Amino acid sequence: MAKKRIGILTSGGDCAGLNACIRAVTHHACHKGWDVTGILYGTAGLMRRPPAIMELTPDMLDTSYLRRAGTILGTINTGDPFAFPMPDGSLMDRSAEVIEGYRQLNLDALIGIGGDGSLAILRRLAQQGGIDFVGVPKTIDNDVAQTENAIGYATAVQVAIEALDRLQPTAASHDRVMVLEVMGRDAGHIALNAGISGGADVILIPEIPYSLEKVAEKIRAIRAGGRNFGLIVVAEAVKTAGGDAVTRSLSGQTRYGGIGQYLGDSLGELTGAEVRVTVLGHVQRGAEAVPQDRLLATVFGTKAVDLIDEGRFDRMVAWQNRRVVDVPLADIVNHSHQVDPDGPLMRSARQLGISFGD
């Protein structure tokens, strides 16, 4: 088997388990006698001249990288090379520069670890530039289609559960209702899974329309039943009663954030309860990877190298039915993995009396 030189990059928001995946790719590829080049800051590294890279070796990536948060390669979740924001406010197609940067590295294939947006962009670049590309799904949102789990999701859920574990005693001590706003973009996976595991009374997710009055009823019922505290988990993309997404502009990007405070204020008025709001934010991304993410990252990393070895490109590694598989990247572009309102978790949650405000 001819020696190969492969590239790897991380793209999109960081999450736990990225370094574990970079480590797995490097160890497996180097054991085959290949060279591994890490590309820094995703596609932005390929726009620089010379391209921004670091050579990766197994010695550099010891077992501490299984747990280490962040990504040693750096990442960006802005700067789509097909519509790159220029200083004068215009958008420029810089895809040819990225492809030329890749060419300068003389790589045989590229592994991209990213969410659905990044994987779609990387696939388009690969098609345009004739790049042999394999994708690895990562995102705390767990919204990549065709895979039950993406790297980083399990750790984010764990962080949200720990937050609920800490909110419950203070809620009980002060007779309060606590609202916890979690990330997840347009999918409610973090809110649903953490909410069930962390003992939430109400879980609001973007997939299920709710009414404020129904949530207020649940709070009143809890208090009428003699319990003095309540826990509410709300996913960041849940809309206001008027149907508006709560967003803000951060560094020129639109980001969700603030629905928790809206809910807290509204429920305080409707029920008279003392309500406090916690926005969990980026702590969901920065944690040490939990075992599930270390394992997923490791299995995905080695599988991605195997796909290159087998000459199978334009594919994404995925987790389905307790197995690592690979799927065509075409099947994930423009698709999203959202919470199934009729799925087993939803059914169990409803059977436990958890309210979804509907």
Question: Which residues of this protein are in contact with ligand F6P, per CB under 6 A?
Answer: 13, 77, 115, 139-141, 183-185, 236, 253, 255-256, 285
User: Measured between alpha carbons, how far is 125 from 321 in angstroms, rounded to an integer?
Assistant: 31
- Pair of tokens at residue 243: 């149907």
Compare residues 181 and 201 and give the one whose CB is closer to ligand F6P.
Answer: 181
Instruction: List the Cα angle 217/221/226 in 5-degree steps.
Output: 155
Least separation in angstroms between residue 256's CB and ligand F6P is: 5
Q: Which residue, among 157, 71, 61, has the nearest Cα to 113 in the 3D structure?
A: 71
Closer of 259 and 349 to ligand F6P (Cβ): 259
> In angstroms, what is the minimal distance from the CB of 255 to ligand F6P?
5
DSSP for residue 250: E
| Shortest separation between residue 281's beta carbon and ligand F6P, angstroms | 8
For residue 342, indicate whether it is catalytic: no
From the list 14, 80, 116, 141, the catalytic residue is 141
Q: How distant, in Å, are the alpha carbons of 39, 46, 63, 101, 131 from that of 49?
A: 12, 8, 32, 7, 19
Count of all residues that appear for the chain in the document = 358
- Cis amide leading into 50 (omega within 30): yes
> How much is the CA Rg of the chain, to the nearest whole Å?
22
At position 325, the amino acid (one-letter code) is V
**Closest separation in Å from C-beta 332 to ligand F6P:** 15
CB of 117 to ligand F6P, least distance (A): 8
Q: How far is the CB of 249 from ligand F6P (least distance, A)?
A: 11
The span from the CA of 277 to the CA of 232, in Å, is 9
Nearer to ligand F6P, 7 or 152 (CB): 152
Q: Which residues pair with 135 in a beta bridge?
A: 112, 316
Nearer to ligand F6P, 184 or 198 (CB): 184
Yes or no: say if 6 and 34 are a contact pair by the CB < 8 Å rule: yes
Any idea which residue has 């299920």 for tokens? 208
- Find where tokens 């009729």 sit: 342
Report the residue number, 229 or 256, with the smaller CB distance to ligand F6P. 256
User: φ, ψ for residue 53 (rounded to 5)?
Assistant: -140, 165
The answer to whether 138 and 149 have CB atoms below 8 angstroms apart is no
Separate counts of helices (H) and strands (E) for the chain: 10, 15
**CB within 8 A of 236, min separation 6: which ones?**
181, 182, 183, 184, 185, 246, 256, 257, 259
Nearer residue to ligand F6P within complex by CB, 199 or 286: 286
- Which residues are part of the catalytic machinery? 141
